[in-house]
Structure 1
Amino acid sequence: MSFDQNAFLIIFTASLISISCGLLGVFMMLRKMSMTGDAISHAVLPGIVIGFFVSGSQRGLEVVIGAGILGILATLLIDWLKNKAKVQLDASIGITFTLLFAIGIILINMLAYKVDLDQECVLYGEIAYLPIDLWITDAGFSMGPRITYLAVLNLVLVSAFIFLLYKELKLTSFDENFGLVIGLPAGAINLALMSMVSYTTVSSFEAVGAILVVALLVVPPATAFLWTKKLTSLIKLTCGLGIFIALAGYYAAYLVDSSIAGMMVAVGGIIFLGSAAIKGIRPNWAFGTSTPGKPLEI
């Protein structure tokens, strides 16, 4: 592995994925639903398998549709267990993602001889293979790494989603009841957010894996939240951390000859722990606020 055009493509694609996950992760964190992203990233596995089975390809639209449907189903199931069955939220999440993930594993074992899919390619991914996974046109012309195009498209869709629904996401994240009072469809907005998380998960699992997507959804926003209590600053800092994590993760993986995606998450975890330690020592240090314990500003 050397720092050349391939390295640039890997870092660039990883940065796009980190930013996409981080942007969604900010609103997941504000809604205290960060681990719902964990549930969704595991729960989409049956949808991915069924999509593979229907299309016969990991690049089919059926895979995205299947994952989106399962992501929404997971959200509805968690909400039903919490509000109707009166099960605690953490238990609802645990029950949902383990059940759907187990169904996905069973489907993989049943359909493995028909579908080019295994648990590891979904769970872990490998972004180092990005330069050789090319988008080849019908005329035989190479357009470059396919996953990079997916990452660009994903970031465009996520950015457009947040731009168009920023006010609604902001209000329902801070006070869902107030959003309902002024007529916002809080339930529909929540489902839309969960659908975007589902899409981001399935579009990223080949590169960083479904498990590591969870870390990218949680770690950058959580780290940024230690330093700022303003929403706009939180979003900007989360994006900056995503880029730094991709860059530092690649270099660290290069030095120790390890998994790039795994090292990215390890770097993110180290940054979070370091930030937590610094804030514990100097609680008044913050970007965007100087008052410890001050609630997040709209």
Structure 2
Amino acid sequence: MEVFWIILTGCLTAIACALAGSFLIVRNTSMISDAISHAILPGIVAAFLITGSRTGLPVLIGAASVGLLTTFLIEFLHRKGRIQSDASIGITFTMLFAIGVIMITAFADNVDIDPDCVLYGEIAYVPLDMVNIAGFEIPYAVLMMGGVLLLTITTFFLGYRQLLASSFDPEHSQSIGIHTGFWHYLLMACVSFITVAAFDSVGAILVVALFIVPPATAFLLLKQLHHIMIAASIFGIIAAVTGYVLADLLNGSIAGAMATVTGVLLILVIAYTKSKQALSANKESIIE
């Protein structure tokens, strides 16, 4: 049963990241997920210092707030400071992550919360933190990720048309009455919620991989956004299941193996698309 809970946590995280990551890919803002995944640390620490708990709604709210702050700072540095977009991302997340490290060492040094927890996580420990729901023992991480996934699906289902329009043509969307800024920051809030829900179990490294690689892989094969979202979710699930099996065989890091499998899938798809293009080119040359 422990194996089931570990794989289920990985799959729930993969689906949530794939759905949000698909929008980030088409918006050319995928690296913001990297920035947010590191920058939420001060929000987590602040929520812990206030509530005494590093789980629950206060932590989600604290992390989401810092996630939105991260987005504000990146855009401010880029637009007002005239700093390149990639440099703005690097400056913002390193500064906020460093502030989080200082807060931990200064105010929470004797508590089980540290930067390694955020970066690497340990999905193997998921079955150790169980919650009793109507007589059933369910891991807290599964409840957290399941709730965030449900929130993400609901948000994207209700706002799909607005998010789609603002992703591909923000100027036209603005002209027809779509508040592109609202939908942008709502997407960033979803990214923040997903990241903090997953940080303790799978870690920021795997979260970033799941946000970027499966959607990028699907983008090579498909063009319609809803198809990309479905395919990215499938690639994420394959990575979660195969990654666990690989980690078990090698007695290695589960999160690391899952992230590695996402890269392998991307390489296989690149090889497939290149061979398909070469075959098409050969057919055209033969016809000519």
Cα shift at 1:221 = 0.0
State the TM-score, normalized to the length of structure 2: 0.93
Q: How does 1:1-298 map to 2 (within 5 A)?
A: 5-113=1-109, 115-136=111-132, 143-283=137-277
Q: Which residue matches 1:295?
A: none
Please give the per-residue CA displacement for 1:242-269, whole angstroms capped at 9, x wherever unaligned.
1111110010011001111110000001
Do 1:53 and 1:114's aligned partners in 2 also have CA atoms closer than 8 Å? no
- Contact in 2 for aligned 1:51/1:60 (Cα 8 Å): no
Partner amino acid for 2:190?
M
The C-alpha deviation readout for 1:60-104, integer Å capped at 9, x for no partner, is 322111101100000001111111211111011011101111111
Partner of residue 296, structure 1:
none
- How many residues are aligned here? 281
Give per-residue Cα distances to partners, 1:89-128, cap 9 Å, x unaligned: 1011011101111111111111234533111111111110
Note the C-alpha offset of 1:11. 1.0
Q: Which amino acid aligns with 1:272?
A: L
Residue type of the partner of 2:207?
A: V
Structure 1 position 283, deviation (Å): 2.5
Q: Distance in 1 between matches of 2:97 and 2:120?
A: 15
The CA distance in 1 between the partners of 2:132 and 2:272, in whole Å, is: 49
Q: Distance in 2 between matches of 1:178 and 1:115?
A: 50
Specify the code of the residue in structure 1 equivalent to 2:117.
C
* Amino acid in structure 1 at the alignment position of 2:141: I
Q: Secondary structure at the match of 2:138?
A: strand
Contact 2:206 2:258 in 1 (8 A): no
Q: CA RMSD for the aligned pairs? A: 1.8
Q: Find the residue that maps to 1:135 and give its secondary structure.
A: strand
Secondary structure at the aligned position of 1:167 is classed as helix
Show structure 2 runs of 5+ residues with no match.
282-288
Q: Distance in 2 between matches of 1:47 and 1:183?
A: 33
Cα distance in 2 for partners of 1:149, 1:60 equals 11
Note the C-alpha offset of 1:160. Answer: 0.3
| Contact 1:246–1:264 (Cα < 8 Å) also in 2 | yes
Instruction: Name stretches of at least 5 consecutive residues in structure 1 with no aligned partner.
Output: 292-298
Maintained 8 Å contact 2:41/2:96: yes
Q: Which piece of structure 1 moves more, 41-50 or 106-115? A: 106-115
Superposition deviation, residue 284 in structure 1? 7.6
